[in-house]
Structure 1
Amino acid sequence: MLFVFGLSLAAVLPVSAANGQQDLDHYRLLVWLVTALLVLVVALFLSILRRGHRSRQALHQEVKRRHKAVSALEESEKRFRETVDLLPQSVFETDRVGKVVFWNRCALDLSGYSAGDLDSGLMLSQLFAVEDGERLQEVFQKVLSGQRLINSQFTVRKKDGSILPALISADAMVLQGQVTGIRGSIVDISDRVQAEKTLRQNEARLNYLAYHDTLTDLPNRALFQDRLEHALARARRFGSQLALLVIDLDRFKNFNDSLGHDVGDQVLWKVACQLRNGLREVDTLARIGGDEFVIVQENVASQADVATVAKKVLSLLVQPISLREHQLFLTASIGISLYPNNGEDVSSLMRQADRAMYQAKNKGGACFSFFSAEDDDLVEERLFLENDLRQAVDRHELLLHYQPQIDLESGRLVGVEALVRWQHGQRGMISPGAFIPLAEETGLIVPIGEWVLRAACIQGRKWQQSGMPPVRVAVNISTWQVRQPDFVDMVEGILDESGFDPQLLELEITESAVMDNVQEAVRILNIFQQRGISLAMDDFGTGYSSLSSLQRLPLSKLKIDRSFIREVTSNANDAALTSSVIALGRTMGLGVVAEGVETEEQLDFLQRMNCAQVQGFLFSKPLPANEVSTLFERSFVSSSAPPPVASEK
């Protein structure tokens, strides 16, 4: 536009100019210069305007870009914080002096602090136990210097003062080449520490159980053998003596089987307590199995010292043990071997002590015995006998003989007592006195007693079927049988199985079987009485029953033990006791049977005392079943002739 204006001005000037062509040329040149200058100014101005516009656009774009970047950064920071809050571990940040500038939600929950506590200037050291303060400061400085911390265990102290174990990891925060603080994580390892503690406790418990008896808490066989090995090593080094005592409770198996294993376990526990409290701490006491205990006594000066310990053990065990309604009286057999006299290693000392223990049992138990080579043969014989007795029932080596019971008023056979005999395959007939005590001690009396009852009922049924006169069959019942929980079921099962008339069965029980638990005995005997079974108290006078207890029992008969009849004509005490039992039976309406009658003088005394029934070798020895049938119609007592005397016992 300016250019057009200049051309128009130049075209007009020649018409109005009067001073000549030269002035006109100069003037036109001036106009052209002014016009060109104006064009340049306008062009420059327009260029500046265009550049300003572009700058404004660029600035606007930059501001917009930066605003967007800031928003994105803020959004990223928000997402980061939210993500960190979702982490299952605590995350924190501090400045260079240890002031906490950030922590996530998990850190808040872990420490018990709040966001407000952070705003008030919480120091990192406040999150840890005082005892960790010095180490924490040392670690903090190392992290600031560029050393990374990985899973170092510290104790976190919560706001409420409680503490917990934790693993700390941390690294330095660097901004523009400058360390501004540290960033780290805290992992609560309470569960892991507790699990490790439990694991260590379990390992320790398992290790303890591996070497200790769980019932009595005494050392077991493994620990006992280890301690005995060490004791032997000391004895060899110092040239001293050592004693090994093996303790076995007498007839414990019968207690266990009769009263139940729970009662048996309580008995063993109480025995262990009695022994532990009565021995020196330097002596090793262990339970090596069942009812067997051992004692290792070091630095023994003489056998007398060992005997003193053995006597003390026996005195400890003789004390009665009260369990529930039972009062149990225990005894023990103790075998003793000495180092170096009886052996120089664990196995030989154990073997000899075991043999000595069986020597003590052969003497009747309730005693101790030092190992003796002379007595060892008897122990071996007893072991062989016990082993054979365990198989006697299966081998059909047991049999019954029957001893007649005579009514003194009629002189007739009114009953028989079934007595077990053992016909050994190689040794022949073995005396009941040799195997019955062994059966009682080992508990074999229970299966043997069941066999006897079954065989006697079967034979009684055979006599019934053959037309013989009704004769009562008496069967001895062991104390241990009465204690069996299935005793009543066993008796009733045998009666049903054999078909024998219960009214012809008589069960003979001892005073000890009744007095151990009178209430239970009364319950059992009442059941039998209701079935029509007769009940007799065997060996009356040798036990400790009271008259009040006797009156509660549904008895039909008392049996006077043969030990009183033996000297009834020569011993005033035996005569008085026998007379008293006969009078007591008459008063209570009970029959009385005198056992072991062997002389006419004894018979005469019993007749004068009005004893109801007798049995003994004066009338007949125990006979096989086929010989008893010939005696059913025979009269054994007459006024004109003395009774026949058995020629063989």
Structure 2
Amino acid sequence: MSKLPRHPTQITGSLLQKAEDRLRNQEAEDTLSELSAIADARLLHELQVHQVELELQNEELLAARTAAEKAAADYADLYDFAPVGYISLNQDGNITRANLAGASLLGCERSQLQGKYLRAFVTEASIPEFNTFFLNVFSEDIHPGCEIIIRVNNQLLNVHLDACPSRDGLECLVVLRDTTELKQAQAKLQLAASVFSHARDGIIITDANGCIVKVNDSFTRITGYSQEEVLGKNPRILQSDRQTPLFYSRLWKALLNEGHWSGEIWNRHKNGTLFAEMITISAVCDLKGKTLQYVALFTDITSMKVHQKQLEHMANYDVLTQLPNRMLFADRLKHAMQQCSRRDQMLAVAFLDLDGFKKINDKYDHSVGDDFLITISQRLSEALREGDTLARIGGDEFVAVLVDLEERNDCIPVLDRLLQAASKPVTHGKETMQVSASIGVTMYPQNGSDSDQLLRQADQAMYLAKDEGRNRYQFFDIHSAAAVRNLNQRIQHIQLGIDRGEFVLLYQPKINMKTGLVVGVEALIRWKHPERGLLGPDLFLPSIEGHPISIDLGEWVIETALKQTSEWHSEGLNLPVSVNVGAFQLQDHNFLARLTEMLKAYPEEPRGQLELEILETSALEDVTQVSTLMEACKDLGVDFALDDFGTGYSSLTYLKHLPAASIKIDRSFVRDMLTDSDDLAIVQGVIGLADVFRRQVIAEGVETKAHSTMLMAMGCELAQGYGIAWPMRAANIPGWVTKWEANATWAV
């Protein structure tokens, strides 16, 4: 505050004027009687003016103080109640003051913050940046802000700092803004942008009118169009015309009613090629449900569609000949039967089997046989009429459907052409190969109403054609039907025997003739027929060959043998068992899975306890498939033996590729080898092959000591036969093994 003036002349002009004005008013009221005391009045006047001046100065001072107090109060309110955090720091970094927002941000009461260091709230990773920021506040003219992370009540917060020093440079004001939610929102936006840019799916964003506003890089990769080329355009520029207007009408109806649509669409690439895509279109709406944008995500599935088409072709067509396979044939046969019923016509089902093709396969390699089948299939197809169907259903077996027949004899010209096409010589290099065909024919609707029944009838008639001399066709008749009925009856009796538990296993021991040790047993099936007594396998197995019941019976044999070896193992008798497996069971697609299940039922059994014996002829039907199956079984701990070796179509190539652990010499050769030089030569040959291919060899049919002596002299040590032991019940095996090992009769 300034000092009061000592002399009236020092009175400011404005105040003096106000004082004189007020005094004149007073003087106007003075009486004329006081004019005599002018000198005294003059002095009084000056004193009064000075008094007035003091009063006015006091009023201004009060007004200034009031304004200052209001400003201070406003500043305090602004500081304390500001929506951002204010923290005042001294030069040591101690907090001298904090507003409510700042204290709340730091998770403390304002009174608790007094004297604390702000850096105490800063995470270790942000300390260097904070220190630099704080030093710059007092040393730099420009005070840039910084981003740090603080820890509050075990939570991390992103905070932006700004600061400015006080005028005296003793303190600074730090402004804190919580940017955690902003950072999170930015991170989400960056993630969304990254997903949009790097997504493998194509993405299209349009406005509510369907005009493209944005696409990603995958859109360009899939369609060939850049973003600049499609902005503002409608996605219909991609249409391929593969879909009808009705398709798009339904699409938009679903999109408008449900807010989304997904499905497959064929579109056109920029270069004109078509591509298939799986697409999902969704509407983006505001809170009131008004559509703002449409977003479409799509994936190029062209390669998948091509692969699907290939799989469908593979599922319906023979890989080698490209003819319809059994599945597609069945579908076409049913369709043809329906057409016959509507048109009141007939059709013929012709089952064709090539005579002598196996000899070609045995003489040449498989590639020659495959080329031969391709040539024959083309000729057979050319022999048919338009509308007829030819299918390959396996190996050298074909079946044809001959349609639009008025009577049975209408199909004879086609049958004659099929016979001629099959018997025409085929040249392969310098080799000329020739086969014939046996054809079985059945008619619809004369001989049945079921497609499977027609195929069985034609198959039966084909075998009759073979019996009649081959290179001919044979129509199905009642006599073949009677034979089928007899076969079905036998199969029913066998099924009944299985259901009643009439089948049993006998076990024939196998020994090492050199050491005298028992090396295993072979499980042999017998039928305890209630009327005919104990029947050997030759009296019932041929009746079910190729029938599903043979698989059921074969699985029963394996399960029973595994159960028996488990019981022996629990008694301390470790005795491997071999089981015969038929071709039909071996080639069943569920064989490996069922075998795996049966083995899992006996986890305590050591590996190598089960050996499967398969006929050589069974293995040669499809060497590649059988070899793959055998390898898979070996992984399960199951070994294989080729049974009755030498009775089939022996081939060094096949033997090389079949992973069989051992070879069994058929009993028919062993039994007569002492008197028949040919049989002896065969036995010697088989033993030699086993040695070359490093296979074990075991001889069946060993009946005398002389057989044993000669076999061991040729290098065969393993044997089984009536001279060693007859097949016996499982209960007798432990005692026999003990007695045999004690005697070691055959040991050298």
Q: TM-score, normalised by structure 2?
A: 0.41
Larger RCO, structures 1/2 (Cα 8 Å, 6+ apart): 1
